[in-house]
Structure 1
Amino acid sequence: MTSAASPDRERVARPKRPRHLSQAMRCETAFRLILSECLEEVATNHEALSSGNSAALHQTRIALTRLKAAVAFYGPMVADSEWTRLKSELKWLSAHLGATRDLDVAIANSKDLPEERMLQTARTDAFDALKEALQTDRYWQWFDGMWDWVGSGPWTTRQNRRAAQRRAVPVAVFHARRLARWHGKLCQRSRGLQGMGKNKRHRVRLASKRLRYAIEFSEGGLPADVYASWRNVLKHLRKGQQLLGELNDDEVRRALLESADALARRAQERKAKHQRVHERKRKSQLLRRAAAVYRKISD
């Protein structure tokens, strides 16, 4: 079990830096700027998130999703053993954030319905678990570890020629090539969308989200006319993400209600079992007392 972080532990406030990508910028510089922006967003929302603010929760999830998209976008350049460890910790944190956020959305879609109160109760429990996670050393070690990894992780010091070339590639060259590849994969994955099962559709949604963020990252790093064509794709991605997001929200809400119903049924079954045991004991007790009385009558 991780211990709670000491309340008097001072957190170093990292300066807010504007992100200015340029076409000639090296990929390693661009990656650091993008990741720094994501981590700064997490830091900015931390206090409000710890107080239960739903908007801060949403913004923190977006920042972490953008962070994961950026790591995936730069792929081989940054993949190392330290990221594998940090990614595992990020999965733990994301699970807490996701559980609370899913309930926020479900509650918003259940206003004045009978299940709203049940979802509110579940949200309270989920947020308590999230708040506890945000106060642990495990969380702060992950957060500080991310900053260290971005600035001086193993990926920054690889000496082989291929690694050095990846870090030095100009943004305009790398982003153009990578965006085209991600776009092609999404087009392939989204074929036959209407007949897809839930899992495949979910992968399309995630790929759409990642491509959207990758295009947004690329602003300033591509020639204006090239970026203009991607901006049109971006417009459609946002709409598609919204539609698939609404579908996902409906499915998550249904799953939450089914889970809550299952928990309620189990609780009812335990209560009924307890009642039956109580009734059997009472019956036995009353019969013993009655038998004792009738023995006295017979005497």
Structure 2
Amino acid sequence: MRCETAFRLILSECLEEVATNHEALSSGDPAALHQTRIALTRLKAAVAFYGPMVADTEWTRLKSELKWLSAHLGATRDLDVAIGNSKGLPEEHMLQTARTDAFEALKDALQSDRYWQWFDGMWDWVGSGPWAARQDRRAAQRRAVPVSVFHARRLARWHGKLCQKSRGLQGMGKNKRHRVRLASKRLRYAIEFSEGGLPPDEYASWRTVLKHLRKGQQLLGELNDDEVRRALLESADALAQRAHERKAKHQRVHERKRKSRLLRRAADVYRKIAD
């Protein structure tokens, strides 16, 4: 199979998953939200994996729109996870309220013209984007490379990069650790994309890596969930504190005005007494 064909099949599968979950997602289903995010993460991983072949100006535009959509999806999903980790705790109600607000913003995004223009634009780009129309020799060669050749080379490169990034993991700050988690996701999906594209004996060596990636992703994901929950609570506390400070300031202003008014009236009374 040519790389061009494999890329179109992978992205079509991702977009079909997004379409399948759209109605349930718009109704607030947390499972549909999770599946949509996975589909879009796989889509971004596939574009990055085939980057030399498909990078063009239209993808730059679509990627920007995808970032907008992902922000809405991520905000709601983060709250779903935080709520799941806060059952029976005092902050659960506060997180539920924040989730309602985040979902309303997500729902508006999913029903907007902007969303549908992005979604239709993705299909157009996959089928006949600028990347597919390039006539220069190098571009044609990239599209025609057999999957078995390209995937073997690309997987080895991504694996090497992840090994470098993950060194010293225990001493890393959250930002570097987050980058390791994202690189792990991308490599995991790339390995999954490669099943059927690599010879069975060659793919077998990647199964062990895949097993470890899934476990590592789970552990780093749990750490990330804890950090996100903590950040959400700190943000909510900060908002509550600012609201309290605004209320207190308003109360002080009100009290000063009342004091001034009462003193003015009292002074008038005592001037009359003096007269």
**Corresponding residue number in structure 1 for 2:128:** 152
CA distance in 2, matches of 1:274, 1:107: 33
The offset of 1:247, in angstroms, is 0.4
Worse-superposed segment, 275-284 or 29-38: 275-284
CA distance in 2, matches of 1:228, 1:148: 35
The offset of 1:61, in angstroms, is 0.4
Question: Could you list the per-position Cα deviations for residues 146-184 of structure 1 after superposition, in whole angstroms to 9, with x for gaps in the alignment?
Answer: 000000000001111111111011111111111111111
The reply to whether residue 164 of structure 1 matches residue 140 of structure 2 is: yes
Worse-superposed segment, 57-66 or 116-125: 116-125
**Corresponding residue number in structure 1 for 2:16:** 40
SS in 1 for 2:88: coil
Worse-superposed segment, 289-298 or 90-99: 289-298
CA distance in 2, matches of 1:144, 1:168: 26
The offset of 1:124, in angstroms, is 1.1
Question: Could you list the per-position Cα deviations for residues 81-109 of structure 1 after superposition, in whole angstroms to 9, with x for gaps in the alignment?
Answer: 10000000000110111111111111111
TM-score by length of 2: 0.98
CA distance in 2, matches of 1:209, 1:76: 20
The offset of 1:291, in angstroms, is 2.3
SS in 2 for 1:191: coil
Worse-superposed segment, 144-153 or 193-202: 193-202
Question: Could you list the per-position Cα deviations for residues 47-83 of structure 1 after superposition, in whole angstroms to 9, with x for gaps in the alignment?
Answer: 1111111111110000000000000001110000100
Worse-superposed segment, 110-119 or 272-281: 110-119
TM-score by length of 1: 0.90
The offset of 1:282, in angstroms, is 1.2
Aligned positions of 1:124-273 closer than 5 A: 124-273=100-249
SS in 2 for 1:183: helix
Question: Could you list the per-position Cα deviations for residues 25-55 of structure 1 after superposition, in whole angstroms to 9, with x for gaps in the alignment?
Answer: 0000000000000000000000111111111
Question: Could you list the per-position Cα deviations for residues 103-123 of structure 1 after superposition, in whole angstroms to 9, with x for gaps in the alignment?
Answer: 111111111111111111111
Worse-superposed segment, 61-70 or 219-228: 219-228
Q: How many residues align?
A: 275
Aligned positions of 1:266-281 closer than 5 A: 266-281=242-257
The offset of 1:290, in angstroms, is 2.1
CA distance in 2, matches of 1:115, 1:284: 41
The offset of 1:297, in angstroms, is 3.1
SS in 2 for 1:260: helix
Task: Identify, as 1 or 2, the structure richer in helix.
Answer: 2
The offset of 1:232, in angstroms, is 1.2
SS in 2 for 1:159: coil
The offset of 1:283, in angstroms, is 1.1
CA distance in 2, matches of 1:102, 1:81: 31
CA distance in 1, matches of 2:91, 2:269: 52
The offset of 1:281, in angstroms, is 1.2
**Corresponding residue number in structure 2 for 1:87:** 63
Question: Could you list the per-position Cα deviations for residues 245-290 of structure 1 after superposition, in whole angstroms to 9, with x for gaps in the alignment?
Answer: 0001111111111111111111000000000011111111222222
CA distance in 2, matches of 1:285, 1:47: 59
CA distance in 1, matches of 2:184, 2:217: 7
